Amino acid sequence: MTLRASGDAPLVECRGVSKRFVRPLDLAARIANRFGGDMRDEVVHAVDRVDLAIDAGEVVGLVGESGCGKSTLGRLAVGLMEPSEGERRWRGTSLAGLPPAAARELQLKMQMIFQDPYASLNPRMRVVDIVGEAPVAHGLIRAHQQTEYVGLQLNRVGLDPTLMRRFPHQFSGGQRARIGIARALAVKPEFLVCDESVAALDVSIQAQVLNLFMDLKASLGLTYLFISHDLGVVRHVADRVVIMYLGRVVESGPAVDLFAAPNHPYTQALLAEAGSVEARKRTFVPIRGEIPSPLAPPSGCHFHPRCPHAMPRCRAEAPPLAPIGPGRMSACWLNEPDADPAAQ
Amino acid sequence: MNVVLDVRDLCTAFATRAGVVRAVDHVSLTVHAGEVLGLVGESGSGKSMTGYSIMGLVEPPGRVVGGSIVLDGREITSLSPGEMRALRGNRVAMIFQDPMMTLNPVLRIDTQMVEAVQAHDDVSHAIARDRARDALARVGIPSPDERLNAYPHQFSGGMRQRVAIAIALLNRPDLIIADEPTTALDVTIQGQILYEMQTLAQESGTALIWITHDLSVVAGLADRVAVMYAGRIVEEGGTADIIERPAHPYTRGLIDSVPSRNRRGERLRQIPGMTPALTALPEGCAFQDRCNRATAACAVAPPMTVARPPYEAQRVRCHHPLPDPTA
């Protein structure tokens, strides 16, 4: 992902970030180990040495199935979580070791819009406080300006400002999604991470919210990391697409090229499964197997147990993410010149 | 093809503080053996409630207040709760969105499946267990003999849904009602489940009502589609007709909202406004406030008519149906 068109430093960059969740051994296991047991900490590599660079004004779609680490990567990118390894950069400067005041100010530039419009709004707060709390707390506006300011924010996302004294439960799902967007935009961010932000919405409402995202991008010059499992949505909004499988990036590239000619077998399988309205009665060809547990990922390439082209090498060694074309990268041994898919 | 289910003018109403709400309003459906009917609608359109009404699973304050449901030639709206219980899981089965609604978390799979067989069939435990194993094998669960001894929490989400489907299949029902069974699943797992269901419907001749909000699932799976809006069926017809030549403005809007139907990066075509609350439906056509073809005539509720005579397979509830774009 270091291959980029522009020479400027990317707006947001994650370099070799990993996130491990560890469950330490309990007392019984530690005692068992004392007596020669072989118990280890349970470690989940939610994100495993991922590089991600997003240019200003770009929309990057992050795609994967549940448990692949896409939400964790989104949270790392926005700074909700500290990476176990690797560093984050904003416009080329490392975010590690910044003085707290500067870090807080930078943090305002990055905001997140969450998946569940029901769970991400405090049910006991009025909309005016949900949207207006952060700008007041961070000194962007004075407390007496809050009503007026929130009115502007609500207008921008297509909500009636006269509803600002209401509570979240008085709104429909689509309206709640808009409140979540207004809250994120209220602190004037430059970078938004949208984590499955339209997944819970009906199709007709989803179209309205996606249009709103694109209007806001045009009017405010926003940069998005758009996390979704819905390939149709990602194909529509994203300039560039990153595909994750079990904590690793398996393929990335410009959306048009990637959807036209997916390289990695997993991407190919995903695209084959993705339903389309165009399709008439068709035969579903299932991809084999289950998504493995991230607690015990397969050796070598994580996808090999489900891959139709798996070779002995795939079981032993994890393929590196290597360039395969202009702006495109893929992690698959099949792209090696000496690869022989016939060899089982 | 013989008719498995014939629903006429089904009405299900809920008594609420804001008055009586018709969640299902004069819904008529016919499903033939081996046929897959997609029942499409957005949240609150009454698609799930239609399924529950057919299953006799509507709970107070809801009540089926009118219409007839004929299953295998037998009227079932007048059946006693006991007779309905004998029918459910036997002639008609339901698969829910969340498989944990079907599965009891503290009982092993074999206990639950054997119980479901023996509830309707006087067979020995060994035979019931054999049938359970065969059903698990049919839905593609590897090593079904061992998996019979597992508890639901030992299965992944996709596998749980397969178990729920296997339970629905146990007594070889004539009709299965599937309420968004793949919505909570990942794309690759959804593909597997759709594949299993498609094969099952073809092989066993079971009729299938597939309730979903996802047009792309229906487009690939269903033979016929019925679109619901605010408790009413607004359009029905063959899948290709509905997708390629929708006659109702709502159906058209729904299809146009799907991202893959739009040019990449351009604004999505959207339906203005939002679904009205069932307590505050406009007089006449429920869609008129969001419809760009609405006229004064829409204040009178339109009847279900043939969309484009003389072609009779596509029916629509609209005073101003859209012309055929392919004609």
Q: Does domain B3-91+174-261+269-275 have CATH number 3.40.50.300?
A: yes
How far is the C-alpha of B52 from the C-alpha of B142, rounded, in Å?
Answer: 32
Residues facing residue B29 across a β-bridge: B7
How far is the C-alpha of A209 from the C-alpha of A174, rounded, in Å?
Answer: 7
How far is the C-alpha of B214 from the C-alpha of A274, rounded, in Å?
Answer: 12
- Complex ipTM, two decimals? 0.74
The 10s digit of each residue's pLDDT in B155-178 is: 888 888 889 989 998 988 999 999
Which of A92-106, B217-231, B260-274 is the most confident on average? B217-231
What percent of chain B lies above the pLDDT cut of 70? Answer: 100
Report residue B187's pLDDT band, with 50, 70 and 90 as the boundaries: confident
On the 0-12 / 13-18 / 19+ scale of CB atoms within 10 A, A89 is middle
pLDDT for residue B233: 94
Report residue B154's pLDDT band, with 50, 70 and 90 as the boundaries: confident
Asked whether residue A340 carries a pLDDT value surpassing 60, the answer given is no
Neighbour tally for B295: CB within 10 Å: 10
Judge whether A123 lies within some domain: yes
How far is the C-alpha of B14 from the C-alpha of B65, rounded, in Å?
Answer: 9
User: Using a CB-CB distance cutoff of 8 angstroms, which residues of chain A are in contact with residue B214?
Assistant: 203, 275
Nearest residue of chain A to residue B43 (CA atoms): A202
What percent of chain B lies above the pLDDT cut of 90? Answer: 47
The 10s digit of each residue's pLDDT in A193-244 is: 998 888 878 888 888 889 999 989 999 999 999 998 888 889 889 999 999 9
Asked whether residue A12 carries a pLDDT value surpassing 80, the answer given is yes
Higher pLDDT, A327 or A283: A327
pLDDT for residue A60: 95
Picking from A211, A283, A287, the nearest residue to B268 by CB comes out as: A211
Asked whether residue A152 carries a pLDDT value surpassing 50, the answer given is yes
pLDDT for residue A1: 44
How far is the C-alpha of A105 from the C-alpha of A123, rounded, in Å?
Answer: 28
Contact flag A235-B264 (C-beta cutoff 8 Å) = yes
Contact flag B219-A274 (C-beta cutoff 8 Å) = no
Contact flag A284-B220 (C-beta cutoff 8 Å) = yes
How far is the C-alpha of A117 from the C-alpha of A109, rounded, in Å?
Answer: 22
Interface test with A, best of B163, B187, B190 (most A CBs within 10 A): B187
Q: Give A317's contacts (C-beta < 8 A, 6+ positions apart).
A: A300, A301, A333
The domain that contains A69 carries what CATH number?
Answer: 3.40.50.300
Asked whether residue B86 carries a pLDDT value surpassing 80, the answer given is yes
pLDDT for residue A257: 92
Asked whether residue A251 carries a pLDDT value surpassing 80, the answer given is yes
The 10s digit of each residue's pLDDT in B3-57 is: 999 999 999 999 888 888 889 999 999 999 989 999 998 888 889 999 999 999 9
| Domain regions of chain B by residue span | 3-91+174-261+269-275, 103-170
How far is the C-alpha of B127 from the C-alpha of B121, rounded, in Å?
Answer: 10
Report residue A28's pLDDT band, with 50, 70 and 90 as the boundaries: confident
Mean pLDDT, to the nearest integer, of A153-158? 89
Q: Give A34's contacts (C-beta < 8 A, 6+ positions apart).
A: none
Asked whether residue A45 carries a pLDDT value surpassing 90, the answer given is no
Judge whether A341 lies within some domain: no
Cα maximum dimension of chain B: 67
The 10s digit of each residue's pLDDT in B277-319 is: 788 888 889 999 889 899 999 999 999 999 888 888 899 999 9
- Residue A166 distance to chain B (closest CA, Å): 18
pLDDT for residue B311: 86
Picking from B216, B243, B260, the nearest residue to A235 by CB comes out as: B260
pLDDT for residue A6: 52
Interface of B with A in 235-264 (CB under 8 A): 239-240, 243, 253-262, 264
Contact flag A204-B194 (C-beta cutoff 8 Å) = no
How far is the C-alpha of B190 from the C-alpha of A297, rounded, in Å?
Answer: 22
Contact flag B271-A283 (C-beta cutoff 8 Å) = no
Report residue A2's pLDDT band, with 50, 70 and 90 as the boundaries: very low
How far is the C-alpha of A5 from the C-alpha of A2, rounded, in Å?
Answer: 10
Q: Can you give the residue range of the structural domain that contains A205?
A: 12-33+41-261
On the 0-12 / 13-18 / 19+ scale of CB atoms within 10 A, B293 is middle
- Residue B119 distance to chain A (closest CA, Å): 32
Q: Give B104's contacts (C-beta < 8 A, 6+ positions apart).
A: B112, B152
Contact flag A206-B216 (C-beta cutoff 8 Å) = no
Contact flag B254-A203 (C-beta cutoff 8 Å) = yes
How far is the C-alpha of A266 from the C-alpha of B188, rounded, in Å?
Answer: 10
The 10s digit of each residue's pLDDT in A278-298 is: 655 556 666 677 777 777 888
Judge whether A267 lies within some domain: no
* Chains A, B: CB pairs < 8 Å: 142
Interface of B with A in 201-240 (CB under 8 A): 213-217, 219-223, 239-240
User: Using a CB-CB distance cutoff of 8 angstroms, which residues of chain A are in contact with residue B257?
Assistant: 203-204, 206-207
Give the residue ranges of DSSP H helices in B96-171.
109-120, 125-138, 144-147, 157-169
Mean pLDDT, to the nearest integer, of B260-277? 79
- Residue B267 distance to chain A (closest CA, Å): 6
pTM: 0.81
Report the alpha-carbon angle B158-B163-B166, nearest 5.
125
Interface test with A, best of B37, B216, B218 (most A CBs within 10 A): B216
User: Using a CB-CB distance cutoff of 8 angstroms, which residues of chain B are in contact with residue A215?
Assistant: 267
Number of structural domains (chain A) is 1
What percent of chain A lies above the pLDDT cut of 90? Answer: 35
